[in-house]
Amino acid sequence: MSTRNRSKEFKKGIKAFIKHVESLESSDDGFIDEYVMIQEAQMENHRDSFSSMDVGKLEPNLKKNRYKDIVPYDEYRIVLGHSEGDECSDYINASKIKGVNGTVDYIASQGPLSGTVNDFWRMIWEYDVEIVFMACKLVEMKKIKCSQYWADVGSSIEFGNITVLTVSEQEIFAECIQRTFRVTDGNTVHNVTQLHYCGWPDHGIPKNPDDIRNIIGIMRSSKQNVKAPVLVHCSAGCGRTGTIIAIDYVWTLLENGKFDESFSLFDLICNLRKQRVSLVQTPGQYALVNKVLKSLCEEMLAKIASHTYENVQFSQEQSNDESIQQ
């Protein structure tokens, strides 16, 4: 397909998506109805034994799960290096999530427990993670949602063989903190950036939805190694985590020009849920994804109209519907 035709299909896809979101917004139950169908699709996958969760349900691993009903699929679980004498040391409650090109672009993880913080840092080290997006507070509604896995600025903590020094901490906008860590294992040093958003209640949506778009934009611009997966976590590693991943995924589709009328956010969320349960966990979160992406699409149309869309790269590789079905 020529560049001109791809551009036409791109614009048609954007307009179709905006129109669809507007139709959902105009209906009292539009987002709820679509979300219910997503839930039903996940239940059908479970009935059909789409993927097993055997490893996470082994007796030695049960204590490593923050919530008993949120366990990674065996096919997509993050596998850690074995520690000598511990057959289950390769387990952590985290999942590999495929990006636009079918590679593992994300790790969706639960917030570490006090007994899994060492494993959390092993995962960061072994998978060369450079960016961690934390979408929960340590304590919410008087309940511990995530164990603190960093020290105060200028201090360090040892997590097994790994030493983590907190180099800096700054509030980049209201309720969003950026921290930098110097991670050391022996003579090898690895730098990690954490983006910590504190304005997102569990099972809810942020007070200011623009914050999510802004911090995801910062996350995208902070990536240096495109091959390194971004680690996203909240408490369970599904609702808020899935919302972030879904927005970033479609943002990448838009920037790469891999967007046409065949695109379906419904299909994308269903596919993400085949890789980890309950990604995007509430109708409100599903509505948030739609609205943030609608805003991005409207901006993209404005750029196209003013001929300032140089960042859009019309790929001649697979189309977005092919990547969604991987």
- What span, in angstroms and rounded, lies between the C-alpha atoms of 15 and 305? 13
Catalytic annotation, pick one of 176, 234, 238, 270:
234
Residues 6+ apart with CB under 8 A from 290: 21, 24, 31, 265
Query: What angle do helix axes 283-305 and 209-222 make, rounded to 10 degrees?
Result: 60
Structure tokens at 249: 């995924």
- Residue 93 belongs to what H/E stretch? strand 91-98
Torsion-angle region of 137 (φ positive above 0: left; ψ -120 to 50: alpha; else: beta): beta
The question of whether 198 is a catalytic residue gets the answer no
- What span, in angstroms and rounded, lies between the C-alpha atoms of 24 and 284? 12
Residues 6+ apart with CB under 8 A from 287: 24, 31, 205
Structure tokens at 207: 């007070």
Structure tokens at 155: 């201090």
- What span, in angstroms and rounded, lies between the C-alpha atoms of 286 and 209? 12
Q: What is the DSSP string of 190-203?
A: EEEEEEEE----TT
Structure tokens at 139: 């304590």
Q: Name which of 209, 309, 205 is nearest 259 in CA terms.
A: 309
Residues paired with 192 in a beta bridge: 181
- List the catalytic residues: 234
